[in-house]
A and B are shown apart, each in its own frame.
Chain A
Amino acid sequence: MRMDFKYLKEYLGWLYYQYLLITGIYVLEPWEKSIFNSVLFSSMAMVIYASYAFVPVHVRLALKFFSGICGEQPERTMALIN
């Protein structure tokens, strides 16, 4: 169990190092790193929260709209043609 925890910690450390290298913030000073991280993580948190709060409502509305188009339209048009 303890070994697993240590392994996980090492893996997270490696992942953070890769994140530093790929974004290029490896070369920045600590205060710049924290600015970048806080901007990135806060915007990501906002995106996640927004998708949690608003996406289900939109999906339900969209479903209703499309079922309105696809589900009932054919019969009425048929009636009109007749």
Chain B
Amino acid sequence: MTESSANKPANGQVCHRVKNGVKPGRNGFIKNHHHYHHQQPMYCYPEDKVQHTACNGSSSLGLYSRPFIESFEETPMLVAVLTYMGYGILTIFGYLRDFLRDWKIERCHIAREREEQRDFVPLYQDFENFYTRNLYMRIRDSWNRPICSVPGAKVDLVERVSPDYNWTFDYTGKVVEGVINMGSYNYLGFAENTGYCADASAEVTMKYGVGVASTRQEMGNLDRHEEMEELVAKFLGVESAMAFGMGFATNSMNIPALTGKGCLILSDELNHASLVLGARLSGSTIRVFKHNNMQSLEKMLRDAIVHGQPRTHRPWKKILILVEGIYSMEGSIVRLPEVIALKKRYRAYLYLDEAHSIGALGPGGRGVVDYFGLDPRDVDVMMGTFTKSFGAAGGYIGGRKELMEYLRSHSHSAVYAASMSPPVVEQIIASMKCIMGEDGTTLGRDRVQQLAENTLYFRRRLTEMGFIIYGNNDSPVVPMMLYMPAKIGAFGREMLKRNIGVVVVGFPATPIIESRARFCISAAHTKDMLDTALSVISEVGDLLQVKYSRQKRLPSLD
């Protein structure tokens, strides 16, 4: 295997490519305008042309038990130029259409100010609205597709047509059957309507009903909830855990309970919106470090400790580091051993969001901590969701007993939210027991292994085909770069024509030129399904000319 600059082994010199095109400070305000004198990055392989390869010192020596291979191939220059040109052309036509709408030559289908609001502050004038109106609407048929079956490995879609270029949709009454589902976060394949988990949930529904319409602290506390929380704590290997009915609120309501004024939050620049919202609601100072870049994090930690709070120079009350296990748009895995080493060295707290990694990583499916073989007690706050791997809904927080007791009485979502629905709780219990092997079978462990195999196979084949694939080799989230705006729509449509359902991602979720398709591998995918999907992806890739990679790879024999 050729050793390329973008493929970096973790032992020895660890290199990390800083993502280009992403400005630091994207999530949250950097309130304190210190000028960080960034150290000159040492280039790992000076003979290579990849310019954004900075090394992460030698502090990471021996921290990783297995190779940590993560690649972010640079955007080819020609592709970047053509992408900007495409957006330019579409923007010109957007202005033309806005002009026609403004002069009443064309009917406006989307919300706009009423006649009597003419002289008020314009509501629909900013770039996001322009983008929605003139770019997103044209390829809207690739998103929000209604489904009519369980979103397992295969899914049935409701067929729809648009008579007016995606402004409205009509349902034809037909169903597109057996679409291979490459878009659901169904990592372990627990999204099923038959089998052990579904039966258990149905049984509990008959016994408990679907909900109790009260909070946990009033009348909504059931024995199933207690059992689930104990099980979650056992699964994570922490002292205590608590569950919430909504994953997003778990982040956005618990961070304000943990930090406040006079605290510092160090947040990864690609953190999910729920973490960003939580951090902003907390009123703490937020500083953003470069994605998964330990040099940047260490610089900020050191700076925070040396300078203290702005103006007063008092020490920060708390420093909280917010990271995710797997980043859902990049497919990268957090460098947890280094984060924990830094956290211990600088006495900071660590909040780990395992929304995508719980169940999907590690030999026992216990997330990123298990994957690196670390001690769960080193992570102060373990957060995750039940929505993805467990095929249920809601989120959890795990950690020390005192922390849980504090959160139970201080977190908004613990105090005010309605308790979780018993069938959902039962689904969590059943699927978690299955993963832990407490049901007396190895089905759960098989699923975890199947997922790891599927991921490696799928990523390797895509790389061999010559696509630009982002992220870690072991991450089941596989982003494939498309770049050009027209290719987002074309890829979604061409794949659906060939009976594969994929998720394509464009501007608000990614930097404007880095549009991509994102495949989520599931343990429910059989090798046949993956092979079918791969051959179709290759065919569409040739049709759309998205095999951009310029790295030479030797196809392995299998």
Interface positions of A (Cβ within 8 A of B): 17-18, 20-29, 32, 36
Contacts and interface: CB of A to CB of B under 8 A. Distances in A.
Task: Name the prevailing secondary structure of the B interface residues.
Answer: helix
Contacts of B486: 20-27
A22 B489 contact: no
Interface stretch (B46-54, B85-93, B320-328, B408-416): B85-93
A32 B93 contact: yes
B544 interface: yes
Interface residues of B, number: 21
7 contacts: A21-B487, A22-B82, A23-B86, A24-B90, A26-B486, A26-B489, A27-B485
9 nearest CB pairs, A to B: A24-B86, A26-B486, A27-B138, A24-B486, A21-B486, A24-B90, A24-B89, A24-B485, A27-B486
B91 to A, nearest CB: 10
A18 B86 CA distance: 12
Nearest to B79: A22
B165 interface: yes
B233 interface: no
A1 B183 CA distance: 46
B204 interface: no
Given A26-B490, A29-B165, A21 B138 contact: no
Given A18-B545, A26-B489, A36-B89, 19 more contacts: A20-B486, A21-B486, A21-B490, A21-B545, A22-B86, A22-B484, A23-B86, A23-B89, A23-B486, A24-B90, A25-B89, A25-B486, A26-B490, A27-B90, A27-B138, A27-B486, A27-B489, A29-B165, A32-B93
B534 interface: no
Contacts of B87: 24
B139 interface: yes
A22 B490 CA distance: 11
B90 A21 contact: no
A27 B162 CA distance: 14
A23 B484 CA distance: 9
A28 to B, nearest CB: 6
A28 B93 contact: yes
A33 to B, nearest CB: 10
A21 to B, nearest CB: 5
A22 B487 CA distance: 8
A24 B139 contact: no
A26 B484 CA distance: 11
Contacts of A26: 486, 489-490
A25 to B, nearest CB: 7
Name, among A21, A22, A24, the residue most crowded by chain B CB atoms within 10 Å (CB to CB).
Answer: A24
